[in-house]
Structure 1
Amino acid sequence: MNNTHDPEILRGLHAAIIDLVEEINRPSRDERLVAEAGIPLDRALFPLLASVARYGPIGVVEVADRTGRDHTTISRQMAKLEELGLIERRASAADKRIREATVSAKGRKMVAALNAARERLANRILISWTDAELDDLRKLLRRFADDLMR
């Protein structure tokens, strides 16, 4: 196995990843997704609902860590999601001091609408890609993400 890689390839990979992260984190990207889904959800709440849907039951501190925001902001936003009926919170079975969130039935419908909208938008972007190319990209990104998280 090769332990050193071509620095030019690594710089190009890093540049592509930075471009992706910056594009994904643009507020307009979330606004476009919410509009495409046709749902009444504040753009700032969307990443939290997505995190709870993907990782729940999940506490405020973990959501804050995953989204790169402070836990006091996340706590207020989670309370708003609960007020809107999109999540439910209860004491953790492992630690009663922690309130964990799960997506409610209403929240699951909203997440389904967001997922469908994401798929429509992705199909527009990836129209010229073959299924084989997309599958290769999926496999390589999954491998990279798994290695990065280790």
Structure 2
Amino acid sequence: MSTTDELQTADEIGSQLVRLVRLLERVQAQYQAEHPDAVDRATYLLLVHLAKDGARRAGALAEAVHSDPSTVSRQVAHLVQLGLVERVADPADGRATLLVATDEGRRVFDENRQLRNRGIASLMSEWPDDDRRTFARLLTRFTDSFESHKARTALPKS
């Protein structure tokens, strides 16, 4: 059972998370409006996983991003069409294919990551070093807790 103080703190955190998500959505919508050819965020997330974690099958990629395989298939087709991802034969099973970020896909990922990192660094430039490090540590801890809680409370697949 949660205490009143814990619930008040949770309410404050929840309110700030909603505010942050709305701000991120607004920024993303503005970016999409200014760059109509840009890959949407959900599709870009697939490229992120492939660039960071390496080649994988479509099913494993869908699982990694907690998405439906048919949705991932459509998104991957778009990334392939853009030349950011390619399908290659799985060396362990020639009948299966792996999805791999192309050199261009890794370049786009690296460029976007550097842009994001510079933006966050600029946003937090007036924060003391200890505050930035503490925030990073606590945000990681919060995200890890959220992820493990969701995994524990997930409904079993039928």
Q: Do they fold alike, i.e. is TM over 0.5?
A: yes
Question: CA 1:62/1:139 → structure 2, altered by over 3 Å: closer, same or farther?
Answer: same
Question: CA 1:109/1:65 → structure 2, altered by over 3 Å: closer, same or farther?
Answer: same
Residue among 36, 39, 42 paired with 1:42? 39
Separation in structure 1 between the aligned mates of residue 26 and residue 86 of structure 2, nearest angstrom: 26
Q: Please, what TM-score do these two structures have when normalized by structure 1?
A: 0.71
What's the CA shift for 1:31?
Answer: 5.9
Aligned 8 A contact 1:86 1:105 in 2: yes
Separation in structure 1 between the aligned mates of residue 96 and residue 26 of structure 2, nearest angstrom: 30
Alignment gaps of 5+ in structure 2: 149-158
Residue matched to 2:21: 21
Residue matched to 1:85: 83
- Greater Rg by CA: 2
What's the CA shift for 1:30?
Answer: 7.0
Deviations 1:26-75 (A, max 9, x none): 16427649x7xx9x643353232223223443443444455565432321
What's the CA shift for 1:22?
Answer: 3.6
State the identity as a percent.
Answer: 24
Separation in structure 1 between the aligned mates of residue 26 and residue 67 of structure 2, nearest angstrom: 15
Q: Which amino acid aligns with 2:70?
A: T
Alignment gaps of 5+ in structure 1: none
RMSD value, Cα: 3.2
Question: CA 1:147/1:93 → structure 2, altered by over 3 Å: closer, same or farther?
Answer: farther
1:66-77 correspondence to structure 2 within 5 Å? 67=65, 69-77=67-75
- Say which SS state the counterpart of residue 6 (structure 1) adopts: helix
